[in-house]
Structure 1
Amino acid sequence: MTPPPTAAPALPAPATVDPRPTRDPGAGRRTHPATGGALVLVGMLLVALNLRAVVTSLGALLDEVRDGLGLSGVTAGLVTTLPTIAFAGLGALTPWLVRRVAPARVLVVAMLALAVGQVLRVATDSALIFVLTSALALSGIAVANILLPMLVKQHFPHRTGLVTGAYTMTLTVGTTVAAASAVPIAHAFGSWRAGLGVWAAMAAVAVLPWVPLALRTRAAARRSTQTAAVATPTRVRPARTRLGWAMAVYFGAQSLSGYAIMGWLAQLFRDAGYQPESAGLLLAGVTALGVPIALLMPTLAGRLGSLRPLVLGLTAASALAYLGLALAPHGAALLWVALMAIGQGAFPMILTAIGLRARTAEGTVALSAFAQSTGYVIAALGPLMVGILYEATGGWTAPIGFLLGALAVQTTAGMAIARPRYVEDE
């Protein structure tokens, strides 16, 4: 919140302080031409395009990777759990990082780590090196996950729903394309390595808009940090609020199911009798059908007085999808895919809620970091537990029962964040 104006003699300030009244950096600030508003948007969309491709391409080719590297079911579960581990650990460090380094410079390094990690992991025959280089790639995604909501709040405060919808839709498109094309690319080149490694080029392209932004905004970022320090003397700490914990639990539960689906749904359909290409297309169908949902959900969430109808509707769709996969995975696969796509609308909804439940840019990045880093600790259980239960039982009833339990927790937390309030107020 912006403090009331104070007479100049009563407030010591550096000689370089702007004489105009201080404004909160996240409250209605227009993007200055020097920061390249259009370039920021293009850069955000390119980053979003990369945020799940590294995960869903692996999910579509998991059988081939397991055979090629000799991975057990438990090790494969660990590999599919890596995204959540990386996102939890590095996501928590991002607010500290952006207080010291301009976001554009951070994103340059993040996208380079993503590109290099993807190249290195397909160049090895060692399971250990595959895991480590996958972690390097995922570290770039972890940082970008936290930064995007903050960038929306800073650069597009009056178009939060529209821009959030645009980047979540782009994220969904990248997820869909990777899931649908990983197997055909691998078959075309005769190796699963091609199906995973091709996405490094897309990450390298995402670096390009941030290089000029990093060069042009270094000084501006320092001034912005100084202004924010004067305007917000008390740091926002979501861990001390009920809202912060409710957001973290909801984010964690929906991410648990999301990463379990990305990591194991193609395998479920293979076990149900589908060919690898068809199983990959069904996985891609979940994200493809989610594209319009990702575009519309932020606007819808922003216009509703309460998120309760969305929370309950998304829960109902997910529950029906899980039950259908348990009872008739082959006979009505398209219906279950459609219902699952609707249920996964919880992801764009909670990203929008992060912006809706904070007043300032600092509050947004603090809430984003806490909800996502803590949430991903919870989410790490998803792919790992699904892998353990799948190997222990040889079927999908137990894993799906586990996901239904997580859905119940998600719904409870969702009801707690449904009514409008702000993390700064708590």
Structure 2
Amino acid sequence: MEVAFVDDDADLRAAVVQSLELAGLKVLACASGQEALSRLPKDYSGVVVTDIRMPGMDGLALMRALHARDPEQPVVLITGHGDIDMAVQAMHDGAFDFLSKPYQAERLLTVIRHAAMQRSLVLQNRALREELDEDGQGPALLGNSEVMINLRATLRHLAQSDVDVLVEGETGTGKEVVAMLLHRWSARAQHRFVALNCGALPETIIESELFGHEPGAFTGAQRRRVGSVEHAHQGTLFLDEIESMPMIAQVRLLRVLETRCVTPLGSNEEHPVNIRVVAASKVDLADPAQRANFRADLYYRLNVVTLRLPPLKERKEDIPMLFAHFAALAAKKYGMPQKMPDARSLTYMQTHHWPGNVRELAHFAQREVLGVPHLDIKDLDVEDLSLPARIEQFESQQIRQALARHRGDIKATLQDLRIPRKTFYDKLQRHGILRSDFVEEGAQAD
């Protein structure tokens, strides 16, 4: 956790820096606003704590300069007794919080930790937005759970190599998304991404689909066909449900992986291919019982790197974010208003085991937006909500009620709830609350 502490009082600055460092924080000490502005990078990932009254550039001017760079940079103001009104106004202008002198070290640490938590979420969301799919459909592998953060980092690292990858995961966990990211983040991104579902092809044609054929290779083969392996030359070949591949095709694929050459059906000529293979399976191929008729030598050839995708039930903390994402997409697609889940829907999402994983959740979000009732929801008891879900529900209700009482007046709502302006807007975004829904004629403008 990083913090920049700005104060022109050398003795106070040294004492606070020592206190913060003893608490495990990394501290950048600055004697003036100008020094802080020159030393802090534009994408500073930490929290800025600054005294208001300083010669030259004061704390308020420093805050405005930092917000001109990044409007979401958290700034905590230190005030003297006569600066309270000024600090309150600064809160309306975007300060994260303020402390009046004298303040206790523990209080400062608490405020810094809260600000750092917010800063971390902001930066994570920015990183996810930068990973938008090329078709604009949203962040790939969305989620802030530890397992998803680690998975995205692993994919970034693996994409730079040319190693073949085996992806294992239940239906709907995003195996094809993983394969596409490995391709898009690699040096092969300008070439083809060729996907083939091994479980969807009849045994009679899968060899032709994979390896191609020459005219006359079999009855009905009237012209030459380039198979998926050759078609993916210089790019990435994605083989989904590889555990369903017929044995004869497995033998031929093993040779392709070992020689990087393909021989079309009806031909004696080998065609060199430069491909990266990403294979996906919904069963654990390391388990002989689950592997069934899958060749062990092909498994060991594919198993250079194996990635396991977690089912949704193992990362339920990501469900609210995923639901909001899919609901927003559905609302845009069908021209419907944004949908927020009610208590029973929240209960369902937190207690359901999601056998269809992310794909099932996406379909659930679409039905919620369309107003199609889910048969399993009507019988749920709202009291089955987990404690975090109840807290989220209560907080959302309190904010909505306060906005309704004050007809959308932000200043009056903030005074009612007694929370910082920045925190208030973060909660509006998290709960999907629109101030405009509560504004009546005569309400004070934001």
Same fold by TM-score, threshold 0.5 exceeded? no
- Scaled by the length of structure 2, the TM-score of the pair is 0.21
Relative contact order (alpha carbons < 8 A, sep ≥ 6): 1 or 2 greater?
1
Question: Which protein is bigger by CA-based radius of gyration?
Answer: 2
Q: Which has the larger share of strand?
A: 2
